[in-house]
Amino acid sequence: MPSLIAVLTLLVSSSTARAGDVEMTPHLFVHLRPEARLNPAFVAGEDDGVVAVQQALRAGVSGSTGRLSGRVDVQEVRAWGARSGSTGAEAAVHAYQGYMDVDTGSGFVRFGRQELHFHDGFFLSRAPFNPAGRSFDGVRWHHEQDGLDADVFVSQLRAAAGWVDGEPPIDVGDWFAGGQATFSGNKVVVPSVFVLSKSGGATEADPERSDRWVGPGGRLVVTPADETSVTVDGMAQIGKVGDIDRRAWQVIGRVEQGFGGGLRPGVAARIDQSSGSACLDAPDTGVCRSDVNRTMDLQFGRNFYLRGLANQVAATNSRQLALETFVRPADGVRVELIGSWFQLTDPEGPWVRNGGVLQGSGWKQGNDDPNLGWELDARVNWKVSKQLVIDGGGAWFQPVGTGAELTGDDGQLYTFIRSRFTL
């Protein structure tokens, strides 16, 4: 693995190097995110809080010659103070990307570790808010021609392994694949179709493990005027979790209207709903089973900003109604105020936050109140230059109804400020 010091030395020595017929270009990305969260565990009456600074430093180089090109990025991610001391030398550097491209004339074929991102990232995202980002080991084919933008990829999530006790090597690892096609010939109406698929099979530790699904979906963007847009995204997941059928879905709709004037204000409304099902087990078991699994598996989707800055509601068994107002007082500056109301799709199902973590006591059997809580978000995004973007804000999440029964009456405060420097 190339060392971070060697890459940084290259960055300092030259912005663009040329060796023979190979053109080399250095890259640098610095992501810094200080944040604070009060009442993080939703334990009513408990005086707790978390303050942390997360940082990522990503450096690399890309090169091209003829129809071949490639890129290597190494990354160091840390929470400030997490090492053993100022001279701590715990291993922290890893390969974030490392791929080779073959130019096909109308696109490319890419082999290796790489980012994957579809549309706004609702279902497949590079995780831009997370300093560690997200990349996959796989192969991708990309094509652009006559208003068509298409991608197909196959990636491996977990390596295959045989059985140490001599059993047949039925463990083929875990795989994630998909594709999308966007038709942009008409600038007013832009439709997209896509499909994602995941296959997780048996392991030596769990020979009965099985989690396989196919997720067809679509996206429609309508822009009838410069300041008006309507976006609808939807996806279904069909498969099995063990011997239980998975039948899950999600729909996201957003309407935005901008206005003229010096501040260039605007308003937006959004509904975001995903399927859910009642839990057959008691909450104290910590395991929610159902006759049909209606849990959306969106571990590679984008949650932050979409379902509130506080990240207290994930895209499963949830309904969000959101209203937003914003102003754009200068080029590259956007100030937003967003109010959200959250409910359970199935009141007897679980309340889950990002990462699949159950909130509070998880769920309430026999419940008929779907209300979880409301959230108020404020955010400022400032694109200082082509290289530097700064954003920050705060959120207050207040449980109500069933939400307050599961977590307590105390609200949660989250604040952050973030800077991203790209060279």
- Tell whether the model's pLDDT for residue 145 goes beyond 60: yes
CA geometry: angle at 349 spanning 344 and 350, to 5°?
85
Q: Given pLDDT bands bounded at 50, 70 and 90, which one contains residue 167?
A: low
User: CA neighbours within 13 Å on the CB side: how many for 280?
Assistant: 5
**Predicted local confidence at residue 168, as pLDDT:** 57
- Tell whether the model's pLDDT for residue 166 goes beyond 60: no
Q: Given pLDDT bands bounded at 50, 70 and 90, which one contains residue 285?
A: confident
Q: What are 165's two structure tokens?
A: 């006790």
The string of pLDDT tens digits covering residues 43-55 is 777 778 999 999 9
Q: Residue 373 burial (CB < 10 Å; 0-12/13-18/19+)? A: buried
At which residue do the structure tokens 């159950």 appear?
Answer: 358
Question: Is the separation of the CB atoms in 27 and 17 below 8 Å?
Answer: no
DSSP 363-396: --TT----EEEEEEEEEEEEE-SSSEEEEEEEEE
Mean pLDDT of the 83-109 span: 89
The string of pLDDT tens digits covering residues 289-324 is 899 999 999 889 988 888 999 999 999 999 999 999
Mean pLDDT of the 393-406 span: 96
**Predicted local confidence at residue 355, as pLDDT:** 83
Detail the DSSP E strand segments found in 184-285: 189-200, 211-225, 228-241, 244-258, 266-274
**Predicted local confidence at residue 330, as pLDDT:** 94
Q: Given pLDDT bands bounded at 50, 70 and 90, which one contains residue 16?
A: very low
Q: Given pLDDT bands bounded at 50, 70 and 90, which one contains residue 41?
A: confident
Question: Is the separation of the CB atoms in 370 and 343 below 8 Å?
Answer: yes
Under 8 Å CB-to-CB from 10, ≥6 apart: which residues? 17, 24, 26, 61
Amino acid at 78: R
| Cα 160 from chain centre | 26
**Predicted local confidence at residue 354, as pLDDT:** 87
- Tell whether the model's pLDDT for residue 163 goes beyond 80: no
DSSP 354: G
Q: Give the predicted TM-score (pTM) of the model.
A: 0.90
User: What is the distance in angstroms between the CA of the first residue and the CA of the last residue of the chain?
Assistant: 22
